Amino acid sequence: MNRRNETIETPAGHDTLLSAKQIAPMLGYEPASYKAVYAYLERQGIEPHYLSERRKRYWRSDIVALLRQGGASRAPRTAQPESEPTRFRKRAS
């Protein structure tokens, strides 16, 4: 049985399966934001390989191809400066 977040090696000549937490740093995400990675990969059309109903992995070759296309590697999010409160004007009746 495979442990959670463990890379699964397939027979020689085949690809490796990676978890979203392993993929996150490759794409410029924090490892804790793996749910964002799932959403991003789904939008990019990357198909997961299901290990069970709740556990899925992605082929490393698909992630490498995505990186080569320049479709990832985003800058980490930084806190936005707080804006001044919005001022509302009374409507003219």
How confident is the model at residue 30, as a pLDDT?
Answer: 84
Q: How many C-beta atoms lie closer than 10 Å to residue 34's C-beta?
A: 17
Total length of the chain: 93
Position 64, amino acid: V
This prediction has a pTM of 0.60
How confident is the model at residue 17, as a pLDDT?
Answer: 93
How confident is the model at residue 85, as a pLDDT?
Answer: 57
Position 5, amino acid: N
Q: Could you give the C-alpha distances from 8 to 73, 76, 92, in angstroms and in order?
A: 24, 28, 67
Mean pLDDT by 10 residues, the chain (93 residues): 48 75 89 86 92 91 90 48 57 65
Q: Indicate the domain borders of the chain.
A: 8-68
Name the one residue in this structure whose structure tokens are 């463990």. Answer: 6
